A = this chain, B = another copy of it.
Amino acid sequence: MTMPQTQPHPAAPDFAAIEDAARLIAGHATLTPLLESPLLNARLGGRLLVKAEPLQRTGSFKFRGAFNRIGRLSAAERRTGVVAFSSGNHAQGVAAAAQLVGAPAVIVMPADAPGIKVANTRAYGAEVVSYDRFGEDREAIGRRIRDERGAVLVPPYDDPHIIAGQGTVGLEIAAQARAAGIAIDAVAACASGGGLVAGIALALEATSPGTAVHVCEPAGFDDHARSLEADARLANAPGAQSICDALLAATPGEITFSINRRLLHSGIAVTDDEVLRAMGVAFRDLKLVVEPGGAVALAAALSGKLPVAGRTVVVVCSGGNVDPLTFGRALATL
């Protein structure tokens, strides 16, 4: 399946939209730290900085994009509320953002989503509708609820406000590096639909143009890497499995890929074992709880697939919503 694209998507946000998002989310989102471990740097022979989005409100970067969309709802839209489909981090971001503006939220979540993600989404006051990830179409369920209730659909990535909101991660990385006098050779971030890495690439194009941006994915779900090579949106083969529950989208988004094909350097795929080891290193050397999907960029750096030696590399750890049982598997790698 190929879907050739030669034009930039008309709905793609620009850099000004990211600056605007930064203004809107300020005081609601957390300015997350860039963490660093001198011991880890010594082992890698370079400088590795970790953008710590597990410390973001709701435990992942997803709050940024969700609030940048939901914070713009009209008074009438706030009354009818929002609907979203999500494996769990976008769910929590949308639920928390909706709660902050007083809008009801319905979230369509897979029946096998991690318990912590379902529990927290409900704790933020949202109604959760479960579906079977292997037999039902979450987008169709989301659209049906939107039509029945008149709710605003908040998509997980293919939306200019969502992409611009996630782009504030890149804006912060550039500002934090500049303040510390650090020049960044490369930035790596994960992708499911590609909103985070697209937003980061847009932000760095304007603020740190010499920085190479890489997209990282679980093995078997490397649709972005293959799409970049083919310069066309390719789907993952069905039937693949990964512990990275947050990164299982089947293809790159349309808007996101129109940005990523122009701005990304390359894609890197990592195995579940590499992800679990990266979670263990984040526990031991950074004192940071990272979920599997949040650890793929760190895994790329630690595995050597993204070289750090002699360079300064920033990896985004995108979320930390992980159940104790899965975290125990990461501890067992130490």
Contacts and interface: CB of A to CB of B under 8 A. Distances in A.
Nearest to A284: B116
Contacts of A216: none
Contacts of A30: 33
Given A124-B39, A288-B289, A331 B320 contact: no
Residue from A32, A33, A39 having most chain B Cβ neighbours under 10 A = A39
* Chain A interface residue number, banded: 20 to 34
Nearest to A99: B38
A73 to B, nearest CB: 20
A252 B308 CA distance: 45
Interface stretch (A52-60, A224-232, A238-246, A260-268): A52-60
A178 B144 CA distance: 47
Copies of the protein in its oligomer: 2
A290 B289 CA distance: 10
26 contacts: A30-B33, A33-B33, A33-B55, A35-B55, A38-B57, A39-B123, A39-B124, A42-B123, A55-B286, A55-B287, A59-B287, A116-B284, A280-B324, A283-B289, A283-B324, A283-B327, A287-B288, A287-B289, A287-B290, A287-B320, A288-B288, A324-B331, A324-B332, A324-B334, A327-B331, A328-B331
Interface string A26-53: 0000101101001100100000000000
A332 B327 CA distance: 11
Contacts of A57: 38
Contacts of A32: 33
Contacts of A189: none
Contacts of A171: none
Contacts of A328: 328, 331
A280 B327 CA distance: 12
Interface string A314-334: 000000100010011001101
A103 B283 CA distance: 29
A35 B32 CA distance: 10
B54 A287 contact: yes
A123 B38 CA distance: 10
A190 to B, nearest CB: 16
A289 B37 CA distance: 14
A225 to B, nearest CB: 28
B39 A120 contact: yes
Contacts of A327: 283, 331
A96 interface: yes
A173 to B, nearest CB: 16
